Amino acid sequence: MSLHQKKHPHLEKLLSKARTVRLDSSSKVLSLSDPHMGNGGRRDEFRRNASLVRSMFRDYYLPGGYSLALNGDVEELFKFSVESISDRWSEMYDLFLQFRKNGFLWKTYGNHDSDLEDERGYPLAPYMQEAVKFLYGDETLLLFHGHQASILLWETYPLVSRAIVLFLRYIAKPIGIRNFSTAYNSRRRFAIEKSIYDFSNQAKIVSIIGHTHRPLFESLSKVDHLNYRIEELCRHYASSDVGERNRIQEQINELKVELDACFSQGKKIGLRSGRYNNLVIPSVFNSGCAIGKRGVTAIEIDGDRIRLVYWFRGRPGRRYVSDLNHTPEKLGSTGFYRIVLNEDQLDYVFSRIH
């Protein structure tokens, strides 16, 4: 048995048993993770972005022909009952199901909603999988939540899992402890991502995950991308004329403002470098989460391209800087905006992996 099989047995099993879905040049897929839907009360962290997610689905992705892959922790069962969640967010379930007409609807389960696999009457039960394997030509993109790479595997330690559920539902909820999955310290989050990164590189696949709530594009975090972008502009500055230098300096200043904002928000440690090895292999993508304070991040697959996008409310400010100089696009009269943070061709991504 090879080293990576011994080190990542659960991930090997996921890859071998995942539901297979073939993509073609016309395929459009939205991957959204970690809404953590609750009962609509003040402890429900999804409530803040519910209208944004509703508009994203209804006014952009459904009419745009996208299929939907919900990537785990859709419901927050650690704190709320499935009955209270489904009663409050019945409209969201109706929207989920509408994506079937565009091609498919799949839902992987995370550590916060795995119990729903055996829940009678659960509307998404026919579409639940532990992992989905997208085939792009001869290449593979494996969609799974990501908790399977944790040291404390929920499947391995079911008694621990049950104890945590009871603690959070009957103790954490009443005293106001915020969402448990965001409480990962930087070392645990890094360890999970590193494990998935190693597995993906050895299997020569792309992994699309959630779980850590940290958006990743091509194995890099936002801080990594900002640093790389500033580095590239500094190199270009030396060979530019005066007019071009002024423009470059302006871009660098904007990127530095955003980088400073990341550090001031306490992300200096949390957004540790994505450079798990000296050479970055673009094998891990993370859709982030749907309970961000300012908006929602998601992964889009559109034909031969893959994107990390950010949806937010209110007027766009300087903090919304795209790695590709994209500008925010307003979604009709909703007051919501979408910006492409980064994108690349899948063929290029896989060429670097190989």
Q: Is residue 62 part of a domain?
A: yes
Q: Is residue 230 part of a domain?
A: no
Nearest to 271 by CA among 223, 320, 208: 223
Q: Is residue 240 part of a domain?
A: no
Q: Is residue 52 part of a domain?
A: yes
Q: Is residue 135 part of a domain?
A: yes
Q: Is residue 102 part of a domain?
A: yes
Query: What are the two backbone dihedrals, phi and then psi, of residue 22, each rounded to the nearest 5 degrees?
Result: -90, 135
Report the number of distinct structural domains present in the chain: 1
Q: Is residue 252 part of a domain?
A: no
Tell me the CATH number at 166. Answer: 3.60.21.10
Per-residue pLDDT in tens (0 to 9) along the chain, 354 residues = 444 445 788 899 999 999 999 999 999 999 999 999 999 999 999 999 999 999 999 999 999 999 999 999 999 988 899 999 999 999 999 999 999 999 999 999 988 877 787 777 899 999 999 999 999 999 999 999 999 887 554 444 444 555 555 555 555 545 455 554 443 456 677 788 889 999 999 999 999 999 989 898 877 766 766 766 676 677 677 678 888 888 888 888 887 887 777 666 655 433 344 445 555 788 999 999 999 988 999 999 999 999 999 999 987 655 555 555 678 999 999 999 999 999 999 999 999 899
Give the range of the structural domain holding residue 192, as residue numbers without chain letter: 3-221+272-353
pTM summary value: 0.80
- Whole-angstrom CA distances from 43 to 51, 70, 113, 290 are 17, 22, 17, 15
Q: Is residue 245 part of a domain?
A: no
